[in-house]
Structure 1
């Protein structure tokens, strides 16, 4: 049930984001001076901001930007980390020691500080975020894949593959990685929410998407000064973030329970 509910929430939000040009009733930068700070209504579902822009349309377009960036920064480092961790866990010895120390170093850095430092070097915008987050994310997946491989390499099917003389690469990538990949994918449902919050937080601080570009963090930051008079500008896009997090959380919990039942 958790998988169905969480999956339904995520699918609706993802489809709405990527179909923004078809769903949004207005362009994200369309200005209507006759409707400044207009509350939610039939014409403007999420109301308008202090420039008369439709908040619902900007939320959809901003959601599309966030989803594209978050999918990239989550699922590009995932296979890199899985491969590095799987090789280290199976080979052991010096390779394992080097990879373990390297992942320890990367994980020990304050995550958000490292991303902000990358943005400071590259400059404000999504490019710095897209570089900074994967610098650390791969290490988390490598640590997880290594720990799983340490268990898998002692399993009978892995020992049998080694005894039969299969190449180490075949043992790792054909027999090992498919069995540990599901755990990493379950973890990615949590990671993708964290990355989305980091992206929105950096944009809120002015380090991510730059105005007037539509992005959830930018929209929320733009509504801060009018929070008491026009609560909908910051609140409703924020609720979209919360709803997406709930959906991914339910999806991850359901997948985790299914994995536990299939591997008692």
Structure 2
């Protein structure tokens, strides 16, 4: 099993970078501490990418956690280039993707990356070529499992004919369910679905619409939104990110919340009544 069934909430490292997900954060030591706190709290899945910083998040993970505890899955990604704050562009040339893998191995200081995502499918390069080099590196033992990020149902079906897809990472939260068809495919194929922007770039964490329901539960809006995801599908593996240890522990506590079908519906009506997804940070589109 790629992810622990008992600890489904992982940690997303995108927020451990500077403004625009560029360069270092204001407090690098706090970034390192929140990673250590995550593992100490039982997190077994940390998500990152070479494009976060770029390279910043991967370096912090190595500095904070090496030697890595047994059972920790560090997932990283390659195939997006950075041109500045909040600027991203895909590059799926096979020689570049091979370099991405080799450099992530070096930065993380591992012999094998347990889960490696194609961060974005490059429309200028044949998908067979992009996945082909990743598959080759899997055969070489440099990659354990292959994932896909921000894919359509058609892309997922095509990719599944070329490689064994071990995880899919698409934007998904209670206010943005555009990837519902991809989620249902993952359920049928028993593929972990890793929703990025699970709190709608923080909008759900401060949602007045969820506030009353959360108060009735003795919870926070963020916890309610994460609990909704966990109840939405058995293959859901959320990766909320934060640079705050207090918020980290708050997020993880959502795993203890049980929601009835009636409350699930109430959360959906409340959240979608306040927002239609437009409140999210557009930079999250390239997570």
Q: Provide the TM-score with structure 1 as the length reference.
A: 0.23
Q: Provide the TM-score with structure 2 as the length reference.
A: 0.21
Which has the larger share of strand? 2
Which has the larger share of helix? 1
Q: Rg: which structure is higher? A: 1
Relative CO higher for 1 or 2, CA cutoff 8 Å, sep ≥ 6? 1
